[in-house]
Structure 1
Amino acid sequence: MKSLKKEIANTISKQVELDIAEIERLIEIPPNSDLGDYAFPCFQLSKAFRKAPNIIAAEMAEKLEKPLIIDKIISAGGYVNFFVNKGNFASAVLKGIAKEGAGYGRSDIGNGKTVLIDYCATNIAKPFHIGHLPTTVIGDSLNRIYKFLGYECVGINHIGDWGTQFGKLIVAYKKWGNKEEIEKNPIKELVKIYVRFHDEAEDDESLNDEGRAAFKAIENGDSEYVQLWKWFREVSIAEFKRVLKVLNVEFDSWDGESFFTDKMEPVIEELRNKKLLQESQGAQIVDLTQFDMPPCLILRSDGATLYATRDLAAILYRKEKYDFHKVLYCVATQQNLHFRQIFKVVDLMGYEWANNLVHVANGMISLETGAMGTRKGTVVYLDDVLNESVSKAMEKIEEKNPKLEGKEVVAKIVGIGAVKFSALKNKRMKDSVFVWDKVLNFEGETSCYIQYTHARICSVLEKTDFSKELDIEYELLTDDKSYEVIKTLALFPQVIIDAAEEYEPSDISKYLIDLVQSFNKFYHENHVLSSEGKLRDSRIELCKAVKIVISTGMGLLGIECPEKM
């Protein structure tokens, strides 16, 4: 069903020449419930109507046709005030959820449009660490949200698998590597020799020269070096997929930087033909100083390509292959300038769809002891975090419900959900410090709180007779606590759309916290199972609706909800 504000905006639009979206934006909630549930200000209509706002409001209140959802319309000062018919409203919301089930809030607004979502972007031979968590879970959630709204989505893990660092890694492997140890524990062993390389290079600069020469050998097709590079890539991707499976995250494409090495020359040639390339100190650049940005470096003075070159090649390749409606790059704020530059270059190349390239920036995660770095070996492996979280969840279950069936499965669902929710609960641009005690705290505004509420509702419904058709009297759900829950349920479809438009899964996280808080207030003040007759049936129907929306909302975040905890 439509949101209340949208329903009221549609009604008002028949009397005023304003866009429905603008009317909806102007609608307010009165500070005093005696003045109704919603109010529309008429002050900005004075000039067009050539009347005082209070007269306009009085005339509108008299002429407006009441939809079934509205009980009464009055004017007060310069406002038109709307009183909701709570019984009809409850009926519309709960019947809608019962009918649509897990599809409540689903839309076809994206029908026929393809959205590419570039996220995770791990580097081969480097750890999948806690710093990768935001981009991975934000990108995955947006993938789920856009699919729910009818878009065709392509999830891309644009892995870092090209560059001088791989020459350095080959040098490190040939000096200190052990094939058997790497096969057993690929990432940690590769990181160990990579860290050693940089430690040794601080005293021996010739190592860096060896690294550059080794990468040049890869570029030139040296069979031994290419084979080592492919091996590092294969064992790394296998390890990444193992961790991603734990997170329940999948990708449609693993085309990394190396995939685009043979696709850069046409882009460079196009830039040259369009008079965009300029020489600067031997390098080739696109001058962006008039846009308050430093030049975008396309070729180094030695002819080497860069991230920007490969990203431009990727953009044009993806447009040709997918004819995308939009591309979302879920990458940390550190890359703001990089994306501003390449998007502007695409714009200067004359592609009008350049404004459909979006950097969905996320804040950085740091340790309590400072920033992380692979070269220094100061990283927290995401795998370790997930295992620890599952272990902590098991401790909680053993403490609170030791006889729970399938507790290992529940501990995994709760533990993994806690880590994911920690990166999805706040606005994505917010920086955060990774603190074990906070991430693994299962009290307060956490996924565990939401999951526990879901399990509580499942327990209530388990004691009811599902085969019986409930006789619902929606007027029995008009008390303040019930009405608050129903009002919150009605917001869900719009929350999903807002989350997509703002690239903000935290909108759904915050909504779910609000929903379970309002439900738990209802649950504590209204006995469900001990109620009788139609009152019991009506309250059970409300519980069923809340369960559906919690499960759907958490699913859009990529988090499961156990039925028992």
Structure 2
Amino acid sequence: MSYKHQVAEKIAAALSSMGVDTLTKEAVYGMLETPPNPAMGDVAFPCFQLAKALRKAPPMIAAELAGQLSGAPLRESHAVGPYVNLFLDQENVAEQVIGTILTQGSTYGSSHVGEGRKVPIDLSSPNIAKPFSMGHLRSTVIGNAIANIMEKQGYDPVRINHLGDWGTQFGKLIVAYRLWGDEAKVKAEPIKELLSLYVRFHEEVENDPTLEDQGREWFKKLEDGDEEAQHLWKWFRDESLKEFMKIYDLMNVAFDSTHGEAFYNDKMDRVVTLLEEKGLLTESDGAMVVNLDEYNMPPCLIKKSDGATLYATRDLAAALFRHESYDFAKALYVVGNEQRLHFQQLYKVLEKMGYAWSANMHHIPFGMMLKDGKKMSTRKGKVVLLEEVLAQAISDVQKVIEEKNPTLSTKEEVARQVGVGAVIFHDLKNFRLNDVNFSWEEMLTFEGETGPYVQYAHARACSLLRRGGYQPATTVNLASGALDSKEAWAVITLLNAFPEVIERAADNFDPSQIGKYVIDLAQTFNKFYANVRILAEEEDVTASRLQLVAAVVAVLKEGLRLLGLAAPEEM
């Protein structure tokens, strides 16, 4: 139990003795504040809410309550106006926090709230035969981090790569390949060559509009099972997946399912039948729709006038399949903000179909990856390839290592961990709804609020443990005064907050909470390192300070892991 939970328990018990039984310790915990100035106390409790129940002014309640609070983890308590300001027994709290972390290790901050229930997470989902651009980075790394965080909360995440492997664009690509394609070139550089053909199709169509009709015809052939169309489509898909896997392997991202859009081709008729049986389909200009007027939304298009099904039909089929396969606690869709209306419609249609579980489905939107302030476009060939960005980042880190630490035995591995980490962290430190402007300079700066900065703080702490001959101990007995500096207390306070940060990140599907936290912890640790002599002359003082360093190592490593980053021990 954290010291804040212990404080909340004490306050709730004291309030109960004063005649207030309506505030549980959980409610009290939610009311606790951190004073703006550490000189005012470590924790503060506001008494405004109690005035009505006790029929007293908040300052009088604060004075009475302060007199009833004592004992570990408290050192003293004072009433300051309507607040009770509480000072903690820092040595007692330090022993408790460090002891908990060193005992629990990587499980520190874990929870069983998920009870092992499944959470399918739709993430990444690049389009087959198109390059894996910086635009796809966001869904991949945000989704992977959310999966890690949900797992930390006791859920069983199911990572689903819902590949864009169906649609009229494949008809266009087949036409382009048949007109201008070269099998040897595609085999040599599949994504690059397929993109070139796709871009050329859109350039040529401006002079020859009949190409659009040919594209539609070939997609119809593909839908009807034409042998040549099927062969080319499968080839494009297989070659694309091979290329994508190189990038996923580099980023250490793995999937439990790669069922793409095509997987649901034989599952959509059932959706249409169910909607008809439930009397939800109506005709509109020859198309079949589900009316959503009561939600102030446009109708959800299920079947076009030519009988073709749409994204909504496919996603309804996918939702049914996932619920039947996983009986999920929650289902998450990490998809760009521009698809917000689509998902709102999807959930409302499922609700109208009578599926109460639709309330547990969540669209996790995110902003765009911009270049020079503009959206990237595959069609126009204006795209920055993620593979090239990762390669450049790794190369830049290798140069730094060669310059700063040429004798490092694991140079290549560390360069990969730090280079890839720089790219991932650049995205995840931002709140997901914000647009991120792609900039080589910002992405590959290894100072300030960056992944490499946090990784270096971890490596520096590991180095201290090696130099100090640190040996893990089963119990924590701190030498008196060893951690009585404000710098040490700032580190301990942050370490104690880690479980709360994970909980907040999980509740809001927001990895940036952890991104900001590990930056704060790295900065606070570096202040401690700069101002306190960790390897002191006294053996017991050194041992105590190294135990704090070991706790920092454990939490930084786990925080980085949750974000999808490695934590090198040497850099």
Indicate which of 533, 540, 548 corresponds to 1:534: 540
For residue 401 of structure 2, the aligned residue among 378, 397, 400 is: 397
Q: Deviations over 1:499-553 (max 9, x none)?
A: 1111011101100010011111111111112442211111111111101111111
Instruction: Please name the residue that 2:32 is paired with.
Output: 27
What does residue range 461-480 of structure 1 map to in structure 2 within 5 Å? 461-467=465-471, 472-473=478-479, 475-480=481-486
| Residues 1:486 and 2:492 are matched in the alignment | yes
Equivalent residue letter for 2:55: R
State the one-letter code of the partner of 1:544: A
Q: Could you tell me how far 1:373 is from its partner in structure 2?
A: 1.2
Distance, in Å, in 2 between the alignment partners of 1:69 and 1:356 is 39
What is aligned with 1:361? 365
The normalised TM-score by structure 2 is: 0.96
Name 1:119's counterpart in structure 2.
Answer: 123
Q: CA deviation at 1:71?
A: 1.4
Query: Is residue 88–residue 474 contact of structure 1 (8 Å, CA) maintained in 2?
Result: no
| Partner residue, 2:46 | 41
Give the aligned partner of residue 558 of structure 2.
Answer: 552
- The one-letter code matched in structure 1 to 2:343 is F
Distance 1:497 1:184 in 2: 47
Aligned-partner residue type, residue 389 of structure 2: V
Match of 1:58 in 2: 63
CA contact (8 A) 2:368 2:375 kept: no
Quick one: distance in 2 between partners of 1:35 and 1:244?
A: 49
> Which residue of structure 1 aligns with residue 173 of structure 2?
169
TM-superposed CA distance for 1:83, in Å, is: 1.3
Equivalent residue for 2:437?
433
Q: CA deviation at 1:497?
A: 1.1
- Name the counterpart of 1:142: 146
Within the candidate set 278, 292, 312, 1:274 is matched to 278
Q: Are the counterparts in 1 of residues 332 and 361 from structure 2 also a CA contact under 8 Å?
A: yes
1:327 equivalent in alignment to 2:331: yes
Q: Residue in 1 aligned with 2:107?
A: 103
Structure 1 residues 148, 33: CA separation in 2 closer, same or farther (over 3 Å shift)? closer
AA in 2 matched with 1:294: P
State the 1:475 CA deviation.
Answer: 4.2
Aligned with 2:364: secondary structure? strand
2:383 maps to which of 376, 379, 388 = 379
CA distance in 2, matches of 1:79, 1:388: 54
Say whether the 8 Å CA contact 1:91–1:474 is kept in structure 2.
no
| 3-state SS in 2 of match to 1:423 | helix
Q: Distance in 1 between matches of 2:36 and 2:149?
A: 34
Moved more, 264-273 or 400-409: 400-409
Q: How many residues align?
A: 563
Deviations 1:156-186 (A, max 9, x none): 0000111111111111111111112111111
The 3-state SS of whatever aligns with 2:109 is coil
Q: Which residue does the alignment assign to 1:85?
A: 89
The answer to whether the 8 A contact 1:471-1:537 is kept is no
- Equivalent residue runs for 1:292-331 within 5 Å: 292-331=296-335
Q: CA deviation at 1:34?
A: 4.6
TM-superposed CA distance for 1:489, in Å, is: 0.4
**Letter paired with 1:263:** K
Q: Distance in 1 between matches of 2:415 and 2:138?
A: 22
Which structure 1 segments of 5+ residues have no match?
none
Deviations 1:383-430 (A, max 9, x none): 000001111111212222223222122111110000010110110100
Q: Gaps (5+ residues) in structure 2?
A: none
Instruction: Calculate the aligned-residue CA RMSD, in Å.
Output: 1.5
Question: Which structure 2 residues correspond to residues 64-79 of structure 1 after superposition, within 5 A?
Answer: 64=69, 66-79=70-83
Verify: 1:503 aligned to 2:502, yes or no.
no
Scaled by the length of structure 1, the TM-score of the pair is 0.97
The change in CA–CA distance for 1:82 and 1:338 in structure 2 (over 3 A counts) is same
Partner amino acid, structure 1, of 2:509: Y
Report the AA paired with residue 536 of structure 1. Answer: T
Aligned counterparts of 2:34 and 2:509: Cα–Cα separation in 1: 26
2:129–2:237 Cα contact (<8 Å) kept = yes
Distance 1:344 1:202, change over 3 A: same
The answer to whether the 8 A contact 1:86-1:475 is kept is: no
Q: Which secondary structure state, in structure 2, belongs to the residue aligned with residue 543 of structure 1?
A: helix
Displacement, 1:6? 2.7
Instruction: Supply the distance in 2 between the matched residues of 1:19 and 1:267 (Cα, whole angstroms).
Output: 47
For the residue of structure 1 that corresponds to 2:374, the secondary structure is coil
Measured against aligned partners, the alpha-carbon deviations of 1:119-169 in whole angstroms (never above 9, x if no partner) come to: 001110011000011110010111111112211110000001111111111
Provide the rounded CA distance (Å) in 2 between the counterparts of 1:295 and 1:384: 42
Bigger mean CA offset, 425-434 vs 267-276: 267-276
8 Å CA contact retained: 2:95, 2:477:
no
Deviations 1:474-513 (A, max 9, x none): 6421211100000000001111111111101110110001
Q: 2:344 aligns with which of 336, 340, 343?
A: 340
Cα distance between partner residues in 2 of 1:93 and 1:34:
21
1:254 matches 2:258: yes
